[in-house]
Amino acid sequence: MTRLTRRAKLSDDELLHYISTDDPAEAEALFARARAEREKYYGADVYFRGLIEFTNYCKNDCLYCGIRRSNRNVERYRLSVDQILNCAALGSMLGYHTFVLQGGEDTYFTDERVVEIVGALHEKYPGCAITLSIGERSEESYAAFREAGAARYLLRHETANEAHYAMLHPASMSLENRKQCLYNLKKLRFQVGSGFMVGTPYQTPENLLEDLRFLQELEPDMVGIGPFIPQSDTPFGGEPGGSLEQTLRMVALSRLLLPSALIPATTALGTIHGHGREKALLAGANVVMPNLSPKNVRKLYALYDNKICTGDEAAECLGCMTGRIKRAGFIPNMCRGDVALKRPRSVRLHRTE
């Protein structure tokens, strides 16, 4: 069977219909299809990533983001190499096998410093996957990170429409460069994560369709989708946020278009609804990213208002998430959780039997 025939072949019209439908029965049918698709590749497993938010300095000024450069109301912090290693040590003790180092675009963390951190983590935890989420850098920088032992990279494209991109970002940033970074990362054989926010100001259903089509073109291994949530100190502080329902439908559609992708039930979804993450799992997501950052800096990494889990210790978040996953009918899995081969499990089993 070719990959094309296995894929849900959804037309633009069908996608636009699901992007916009407000019929709960239709949405539920979509979620059921997405669950079945996820099941084929990953069963009921939900993978854990330990998130280390290591700097909230950022040289960029994205209009939606709480840690944008011109937000003077943020107390800025950077974790030291030792603090980062301590987070990973705690994570390792708790059973994590994936660490995600996420931060603003902080010029203090030069390539050399990032390489030092990645190298140290890689040496200490050779069985763990190291993921970077530190924004746009040159191909050479990405190559150095890969060489040092980083295997995965998260860089959401945010919106795949040029004009919309320009409404959300300062003129110094471009969709073209964003895409180039993603293709460079792929070329370097990173497992690549992209994604977008749902409900950002000026977003149209056609924009969301473009996001889905871009994902199909890029074929990322991971897709992060969360609702836009206004942050009060940003230019979009007074704008409405993205809806739970539409975000869930976008998760489900992404699962249908990229059936073997790793898709997180994002913290932003957990923030706009008490069971947002569980609902995402039921709409086709299969990853959670509990926080491993030190408790005293959690509140400072405020990309948006009312972010959850800022008052909890790492072990509490792990316990909480494990319980939530089980109650939702899924199986917590603390292994590395690499992306599945682009072939359903049942087919693989069949062939090796």
Answer for which of 27, 65, 251, 262 binds ligand 5AD (CB under 6 A) is 65
Residue 209 and residue 19 in contact, taking contact as beta carbons nearer than 8 Å: yes
C-alpha dist (Å) from residue 24 to 18, 65, 205, 242, 280: 11, 31, 18, 17, 15
Residue 42 contact partner, candidates ligand FES, ligand 5AD, none, CB within 5 to 8 A by sort of partner: none
Interface map 267-306 toward ligand FES (x if CB under 6 A): -----------------------x----------------
- Pick one of 142, 228, 301, 330: the residue that binds ligand 5AD (CB under 6 A): 228
Are 253 and 219 in contact by the 8 Å Cβ rule? The answer is no
Q: Which of 148, 244, 309, 340 binds ligand FES (CB under 6 A)?
A: 309
User: Under the criterion CB under 6 A, does residue 267 sit at the interface with ligand 5AD?
Assistant: no
| Least spacing, CB of residue 303 vs ligand 5AD, in Å | 4
Among 84, 208, 229, 269, binds ligand 5AD (CB under 6 A): 229
Cα 60 to Cα 191: distance, rounded to the nearest angstrom: 25
Task: Identify residue 349 by its one-letter amino acid code.
Answer: L
Binding partner at 294 among ligand 5AD, ligand FES, none, C-beta below 5 to 8 Å by kind:
none
Cβ-based burial of 301 (10 A; exposed 0-12, middle 13-18, buried ≥19):
buried
Is 291:314 a contact under the CB 8 Å cutoff?
yes
Q: How many residues would you count in the chain? A: 353
**Position 321 contacts ligand FES (CB under 6 A):** yes
Residue 309 interacts with which of ligand 5AD, ligand FES, none, CB < 5 to 8 Å by class: ligand FES
Among residues 74 and 317, whose Cβ is nearest to ligand FES? 317
CA distance 43 to 286: 9
Tokens 């950052």 sit on residue: 293
Tokens of 292: 């491993």
Query: What phi-psi label fits residue 144: left (phi over 0), alpha (psi between -120 and 50 degrees) or beta?
Result: alpha
Note whether 43 and 88 are within 8 A (CB): no
| Pick 244 or 340: Cβ nearer ligand 5AD | 244
Encoding tokens for residue 74? 């943020």
Q: Assess contact for 92 and 336: CB atoms under 8 A.
A: no
Contact between 274 and 314 under an 8 Å Cβ cutoff? The reply is no
Q: Does 291 bind ligand 5AD (CB under 6 A)?
A: no
Phi, psi dihedrals of residue 139, rounded to the nearest 5°? -60, -40
228 binds, among ligand FES, ligand 5AD, none (CB under 5 to 8 A by kind): ligand 5AD
Considering only residues 53, 105, 158, 221, which one is a binding residue for ligand 5AD as defined by CB under 6 A? 158
- Does 312 bind ligand FES (CB under 6 A)? Our answer is yes
CB of 312 to ligand FES, least distance (A): 4
Residue 325 near ligand FES by CB under 6 A? no
> Looking at 150-252, which runs of residues are DSSP E strands?
150-154, 191-198, 222-227
Size of the site for ligand FES (CB under 6 A): 7
CB of 229 to ligand 5AD, least distance (A): 4
Applying CB under 6 A, does 226 fall inside the site for ligand 5AD?
Answer: yes
- Give min distance, CB of 351 to ligand 5AD, in A: 38
The CB-of-5 to ligand FES minimum distance in angstroms stands at 39
Closest approach of ligand 5AD to the CB of residue 64, in Å: 4
- Give the containing element (helix H, strand E) for 331: strand 331-333
Phi-psi category of 191—alpha, beta or left, where left has phi over 0 and alpha has psi -120 to 50?
beta
- Enumerate residues 116-135 that contact ligand 5AD by CB under 6 A: none
Residues that bind ligand 5AD (CB under 6 A): 64-65, 156, 158, 197, 226, 228-229, 231, 268, 303-304
